[in-house]
Chain A
Amino acid sequence: MKNFYLYSAVSTALIFMSASAQAIDSTGCGLGSMAWRGQSGPVPQVLAVTTNGLTGSQTFGITFGTSGCDPNGRITGGTQKMVFNFIENNMEQYALDAARGEGETLDTLAGMLNVDKNVFAAKSQQNFASIFPNSDVDAIYVTQQIFAMIKA
């Protein structure tokens, strides 16, 4: 009987957690996340925005803010977290910029990482094959490779 209570408590907690996780996912960074604490009621969305963010996938592809996004909708935390969030939300653009050795995402990352942007652009292009070794890389791997690359 005790176990029954325990199981039901755990499963209730899990259901609750998955429900709240979903709520965050659906607001995400992609679609009007909550900037201010204490807001309740329906998920804020913008009348002008209809396209729902694509379902989350950390792997290579267009993710546009799903997991790993600050619930307040802000860019916050340490460099590593900010870079990871940036990569997760801009991976397809970073992949293009890295492949060609120029672009806004390279300038942005160089600024976040406090490295010279021309050097960063050249390195990203040279190391493209190791940052993106196959079509299934995820944001974590890419972030790790970027940090390894600037240390090298």
Chain B
Amino acid sequence: MSKFIFLIVCFFVPFHVTAHESMAESQEWLSLVHYHPNFLGRYKGSIDSESFYLAKDGRINPKAELEATIKLFVDGSDKQKMCLFPARYIFLLNNGLIEKTNVKCEEFEKFKEDLQPSGITMIFTDAYMNNPSSLFGHTLLRIDTSRQGTQMIAHGANYGAYYNDENGFLYAVYGLTGGYFGGWTIKPYYNIINTYNNIENRDIWELNLNFTKEEQDLFIAHLWELGHTQTRYYFFTKNCSYMLVEAFDAIRPSLKLADQFWLQTIPLDTLKAVYRKKNLVKNVNYRPSRQTKIIYQKQQMNAKQQKALLSIIKDENYTQLTELSNEEKTIVLETAYQYIQYRFIKKEFSLSEYRKKSFSLLSARNKLPSNKENNMEKIRGHSPLLSHESMRATIGVGSRNGENFQEFSYRPAYHSLTDNNYGLLPGAEINFLNFKIRHYDQSQKTVLSEFDLLDIRSLSPIDNLFYPISFAVSLNVSRETHPQTQKEGYVGNGKVSGGGTIEVIPHVYSYIMGSGYGSYGGFLPHNQYVGIGLSGGIFIDYKYFKLLAEVEKQIGSNWYADKTKYHIEANIPILRNLGMAVEYRYDNNQQGKNVEEYLTSLRYYF
């Protein structure tokens, strides 16, 4: 008998060890502890908090970490620690590596009780041009609830950076270099709606994910594990969206989402990656922002309604309403109410004035019957899932002052004004790290002709309800020709502009901007100049035809900078990810030779 037991033990022990061995290398375990192999094939966990690892070398040793985790639960004495790892507990239990324990984790149970989870939804909030860190939009999660009512009382789970009130420059430096730590926060979904839809006026897109009950439970447990950790936050890589996809991978390792984002993590790209996975997205839902609702409602109104709306919001004069039907009145009053809320958030009214206006609008509205026709669900929105891909490469041929050249350009992110803007913020442009390389035929040389560090522009039309400022910021290095000596050299340029845009006829915009700029380069007279400029332009934004034409007059601190620049650029978006563009530039230099350039190119997005 004792021999028999000995045999079993002998047999069992090595078996057990190999089970650990293979389990430690399993995709489930690797994803659950957020391990990623480096180029030598060695693993490292992406979570920075030391408390996330139980073994001393747990961050780089999946096997030691697995063994330490098994030990924690087999030993069963450190309740506090066990309760920090409910997802690992589920994993070990499912794989027969431990027995069920009797530990009660009250705090975690309370967490689940408050959330009453019934599903997981990925949330995307549109870009926000007024904040550099929100230019690419934002992603977060909603833990759907089984509570009676609506998902307003579900919870949002947000991964973001902890920051103090650093100034813009430090904020950018810290954001780019991992100077901030990121962590998870949770709050009622109605607060998420208020923040994004109602305060920042950003549209929200909700992707209901198709996770099984087991996956949902594992997700909530894993969120609890992650919630106790902090990790260095990098604006372009390990950001809000990256942590979300790692969390998805942790509960369904076959997704392998994080692997797609080793170079850059643009929120919208992660949304698309999730959307394109088989059986992952059940349903897409759109929540228009307050401003989107107001614009939509106004577009639906007839002339009399619009007149009534304006006289109410400008002069609090309700008399124009009398000419309208009850249904028409309800839309006017509700839109006016939303508009008052919008203006109050912009701090354009005092609190008492705001209350008075709101109250009289609602009292008037309440005297009319409900109007089921006035349904915001009719607003469809342009799905960002159908926008062009973020990276762009172009090839083109052109001529510069009569000399032919071929051009290749590559831009990792994100969108130019004349690109196809379906699903993206209209009139907004965000280019990062765009560079152009040219080969000139006659002089037989290949040069870097331009490198844009960043190029941001927002042309947002002013109308009788909204008065946005149009602006542009750019920083680049360009290869320029000295107008007198005809020598070529590199110049660093910075420029900031501000102005206004109006919509002349539908889809045709006209703008005017004033700008300040400065340039630096050893090749320039006195090495540098500063200047001011005035520019005016037209932007045509049809679905299959985009055109931007601009004239700019520049006056600078030395003669080199005094010039008038003409620029016309047109693009025909043939397909979602393919466009054909032509460009013409003419720099009329006050002294010396002018520069004239043509370019025809093919734009491809991937």
Interface residues of A (CB under 8 A from B): 29-39, 41-51, 53-54, 57, 59-62, 64-65, 72-76, 82, 85-86, 89-90, 92-93, 95-96, 98-102, 104-105, 107-112, 114, 121, 125, 128-129, 132, 134-136
The answer to whether A46 touches B161 (Cβ under 8 A) is yes
User: Which chain B residue has the least Cβ–Cβ distance from A126?
Assistant: B366
Considering the chains assembled together, what is the distance between the CA atoms of A64 and B153 in angstroms?
14
Q: Which of A46, A60, A121 lies in contact with B185, CB distance below 8 A? A: A46
Most chain-B Cβ atoms within 10 A of its Cβ — which of A61, A75, A125?
A75
Question: How many Å from the CB of B313 to the closest CB on chain A?
Answer: 15
Question: How many Å from the CB of B516 to the closest CB on chain A?
Answer: 24
The answer to whether B371 touches A100 (Cβ under 8 A) is yes
The answer to whether A112 touches B355 (Cβ under 8 A) is no
The answer to whether A34 touches B185 (Cβ under 8 A) is yes
Q: Which of B185, B228, B355, B368 lies in contact with A61, CB distance below 8 A? A: B355
Besides A32-B185, A51-B195, A62-B341, 12 other CB < 8 A contacts?
A29-B187, A36-B227, A42-B163, A46-B138, A47-B160, A48-B134, A50-B128, A73-B187, A89-B190, A90-B190, A92-B341, A107-B150
The answer to whether A48 touches B149 (Cβ under 8 A) is no
Question: How many Å from the CB of B412 to the closest CB on chain A?
Answer: 20
User: Which chain B residue has the least Cβ–Cβ distance from A55?
Assistant: B351
Q: Report chain B residues within 8 Å CB of A136.
A: 355
What number of residue pairs across chains A and B have CB atoms under 8 A from each other? 204
The answer to whether B160 touches A65 (Cβ under 8 A) is no
Given contacts A33-B187, A61-B351, A125-B370, contact A108 B150 (CB under 8 A): yes
The answer to whether B186 touches A95 (Cβ under 8 A) is no
Interface residues of B (CB under 8 A from A): 107, 111, 114-115, 125, 128, 130-131, 133-134, 138, 147-150, 152-153, 155, 157-158, 160-164, 175, 180-181, 183-188, 190-191, 194-195, 198-200, 224, 227-228, 233, 235, 239-240, 330, 334, 337-338, 341, 344-345, 351, 354-356, 358-359, 362-363, 365-366, 368-372, 374
Given contacts A35-B157, A135-B358, contact A109 B149 (CB under 8 A): yes
The 6 listed contacts between A and B (C-beta, < 8 Å) are A30-B194, A51-B200, A86-B152, A99-B362, A101-B370, A135-B356
Considering the chains assembled together, what is the distance between the CA atoms of A53 and B194 in angstroms?
10
The answer to whether B152 touches A105 (Cβ under 8 A) is yes
Q: Which of A44, A64, A74 lies in contact with B194, CB distance below 8 A? A: A64
The answer to whether A75 touches B188 (Cβ under 8 A) is yes
User: Which chain A residue has the least Cβ–Cβ distance from B138?
Assistant: A48
Q: Which of B114, B128, B149, B235 lies in contact with A108, CB distance below 8 A? A: B149
The answer to whether B358 touches A110 (Cβ under 8 A) is no
Q: Report chain B residues within 8 Å CB of A36.
A: 184, 224, 227-228
Given contacts A48-B138, A62-B344, A111-B147, contact A38 B359 (CB under 8 A): no
Question: How many Å from the CB of A40 to the closest CB on chain B?
Answer: 10
Q: Report chain B residues within 8 Å CB of A57.
A: 351
Most chain-B Cβ atoms within 10 A of its Cβ — which of A54, A108, A121?
A108
Most chain-B Cβ atoms within 10 A of its Cβ — which of A46, A54, A59?
A46
Q: Which of A34, A95, A100 lies in contact with B358, CB distance below 8 A? A: A95
Given contacts A48-B134, A101-B370, contact A132 B158 (CB under 8 A): no
Given contacts A36-B227, A47-B161, A74-B155, contact A65 B191 (CB under 8 A): yes
The answer to whether A89 touches B355 (Cβ under 8 A) is no
Question: How many Å from the CB of B384 to the closest CB on chain A?
Answer: 15
Q: Which of B163, B186, B239, B359 lies in contact with A134, CB distance below 8 A? A: B359
Question: How many Å from the CB of A138 to the closest CB on chain B?
Answer: 11
The answer to whether A132 touches B240 (Cβ under 8 A) is no
The answer to whether B334 touches A96 (Cβ under 8 A) is yes
Given contacts A73-B185, A135-B355, contact A89 B194 (CB under 8 A): yes
Q: Report chain A residues within 8 Å CB of B162.
A: 41-45
User: Which chain A residue has the least Cβ–Cβ distance from B163?
Assistant: A45
Q: Report chain A residues within 8 Å CB of B181.
A: 41
User: Which chain B residue has the least Cβ–Cβ distance from A39?
Assistant: B183
